[in-house]
Structure 1
Amino acid sequence: MNKYIYLYFLVGLFLIGCKGSQVANTSGPFKDDISLYKVKIESENPGKVGVDSIKENGEGSGVVINIVPQPKTSINYQLDQQSILIAQRNLEDLTDHGTKGFRILVYSGGSRDRAEVIEKDLILIEKTYQIFDIPNYKVKVGDYFTKLEANGMLVQIKKDYPQAIIIPDIIDVNLNDYILGKGEEDKTKNKK
């Protein structure tokens, strides 16, 4: 009995698999109305008159005139104003929140006195930060955008503090040094 059920089942699967497929009907060319998506320019004050296209039909061939509207203000002026606003917002974010960068971690331990001594020792070399990150006091040095910048100072600091390492951190941005370019000029004048 089971043999017949399996046999009928397999024959049924075979017949279903042999069903003919339907061919898609392609009686006419494909038509799609995309006029809804075209940009329509309407202007109260007509501007320059220019050539838009040329008809190549036998009857009524000629030049089709299109009225091009003139912008009320300069496009460059509008873009300049927008870019100034974006730049001001970016500068505010940089000064308020800082940016991703690197600092040199010189000390991380439980002794507040040791952290203060290290900070006083390094304050003449570079800007230092003493941070209490429970349960450790940390002394960090500098604000660097890249590890390459931080590595130059790390070599000097490692002479006195061999455990110093470069760590990623949110750094303070001095606009005079990094954006306006005045900081580099001031440093070279002070060295002479």
Structure 2
Amino acid sequence: MKKNKISGLVLSFLFLISCARTPGTVSKLEETAAVEDLSAFRPKFPAPPVETINETKPVTEPVITVTPTHHVNNRVLALLDTVANANKAIKYAQGYRILAYTGTERKIAMEMRRSIIDRIPEERDYLQYRQPTFRLKIGDYMNRIEAQQVLSQIKDISPNALIVSDQINVNR
């Protein structure tokens, strides 16, 4: 039993020594590399003569414009109308809002709402209450860049505000 412990200690010691870092060595190429000036042996080429450019205007061919005919017909117009009507029916889309406040104090939520509306009156606010928290969300943005611009305007009012993905109202 004692032999096993000693041999285990010796093996672990040898293993630890084998993992140790070896001292850095300099390669022989770095020691023997000579610095020589080889510019005398490099070939030299004469520079090509500079041609003078005549100031004549290039000859341009006349541009022929083609006017399209029959590019929009009645069938295409009907399809475009149906797509436009379908797009008008869309009221909601996936987008972004600014989550300005999350907490249990209604008074704080209303004060923050008033101060944000005073600063940015054109943005719509959404105050939601899910027991026990109030959530104040601002705006309807199709992309994060629009939301980030408004977030930078209200960051001093609501320093913990962040951009969240939400279903937004599409204004037509």
Q: Deviations over 1:16-56 (max 9, x none)?
A: xxxxxxxxxxxxxxxxxxxxxxxxxxxxxxxxxxxxxxxxx
Q: Is residue 84 of structure 1 aligned with residue 78 of structure 2? A: no
What is the 5 A alignment of 1:97-176?
98-124=92-118, 125=120, 126-175=123-172
- State the Cα distance separating 1:86 from its structure 2 match: 2.2
What secondary structure is seen at the aligned counterpart in 2 of 1:123? helix
Indicate conservation of the 8 Å contact 2:115/2:157, yes or no: no
Distance 2:156 2:72 in 1: 57
Partner AA of 2:159 in structure 1: P
More strand per residue: 1
- State the Cα distance separating 1:171 from its structure 2 match: 1.2
Identity of aligned residues (%): 33
Distance 1:87 1:79 in 2: 12
- Unpaired stretches in structure 2, ≥5 consecutive residues: 1-70
Q: For the structure 1 residues 78 and 134, does the alpha-carbon distance in structure 2 shift closer, same or farther, using more than 3 Å as the test? A: farther
| Pairwise CA RMSD | 1.9
Higher relative contact order (CA 8 A, sep 6+): 2
Indicate conservation of the 8 Å contact 1:119/1:129, yes or no: no
The number of equivalent residue pairs is: 99
Runs of 4+ in 1 over 3 A off after TM superposition: none
What secondary structure is seen at the aligned counterpart in 1 of 2:170? coil
- Unpaired stretches in structure 1, ≥5 consecutive residues: 1-73, 176-192
More helix per residue: 1
TM-score, normalisation: structure 2: 0.53
